[in-house]
Structure 1
Amino acid sequence: MTHTHQYELMVILNPEIDERQVPTILDKFLKVITTDGGTIDNVDVWGKRRLAYEIQKKNEGIYAVVAFTATSTATQELDRQLKLSEQIMRTKVLRAEEAIALIESERVRAEEKAARKAARPAKIKQDA
């Protein structure tokens, strides 16, 4: 009996992709997991976000987070296939317990950045 673990996959896809196509694109890769007897527990497409730094000369990407249960062998194969795809700009697979902290910090970072951007136009006038 091979052990399965819960994983979180964070993927950044090329921003030129139609967001409605993202679940279909991901499904193609996730077949590696289901064929091996694993399960896809949740697919959460966050949509287009500004990147923390440029990747492949792009400063935006479509973020998606996938929660799944699988063997480490299937997970490594999934990661390998994602890295070969031109549609995928960045991928990170983590065991669920590590992922919760990382995904939360990414969400907070994106929200803080949006809040700073929203606050920027209100310049404070100084009395001379």
Structure 2
Amino acid sequence: MAKISGKYETIFIVNPTLEEAAATAVADKFKSLVEANGTNVEVEDWGKRRLAYPIEDQTEGVYTLIRFESAPAFPAELDRIYKITDGIMRSIIVCLDD
């Protein structure tokens, strides 16, 4: 029997060179996308932090963590959208179910 929903966690890093309004718009886009496709959404804005290693010549990034439950197909779509969105430096989606 297929699972109806699973628990996931995603972190994405927005390029800090974007203007503040543009960086906020990128983060809000993903918050809205997860809220529209998931349930029990928890968002933590971690703000600007130093990266472990430079990415695209940047040493800092703006981090956002989102925990949510959704259908198993949604994380793949979320990952696809991360990859085509300007301003996203890195992202990861982890399934929290055992």
TM-score range, shorter chain: 0.7 to 0.9
For 1:28 and 1:89, the matched residues in 2 are separated by 15
Q: Could you say which structure has the greater relative contact order, defined with CA pairs below 8 angstroms and 6 or more residues apart?
A: 2
For 2:34 and 2:3, the matched residues in 1 are separated by 14
Question: 2:53 matched to which residue of 1?
Answer: 53
One-letter amino acid matched to 1:89: M
**Residue aligning to 1:26:** 27
- Summarize the alignment of residues 79-90 of structure 1 with structure 2, pairs less than 5 Å apart: 79-90=79-90
Q: How many percent of aligned residue pairs carry the same amino acid? A: 33
Over alpha carbons, which structure has the higher Rg? 1
> Greater strand share, 1 or 2?
2
For structure 2, the residue ranges without an aligned partner over 5 or more in a row are none
Which structure has more helix as a fraction of its residues? 1
CA distance 1:19–1:48, change in 2 (3 Å): farther
Q: CA RMSD in A?
A: 2.6
In the other structure, the counterpart of 2:16 is 15
Q: How far does the alpha carbon of each residue in 1:38-69 deviate from its partner, in whole angstroms, 9 at most, with x for none?
A: 22511111111110001111111011100111
Structure 1 residues not aligned, in runs of 5+: 99-128
The size of the alignment, in residue pairs, is 96
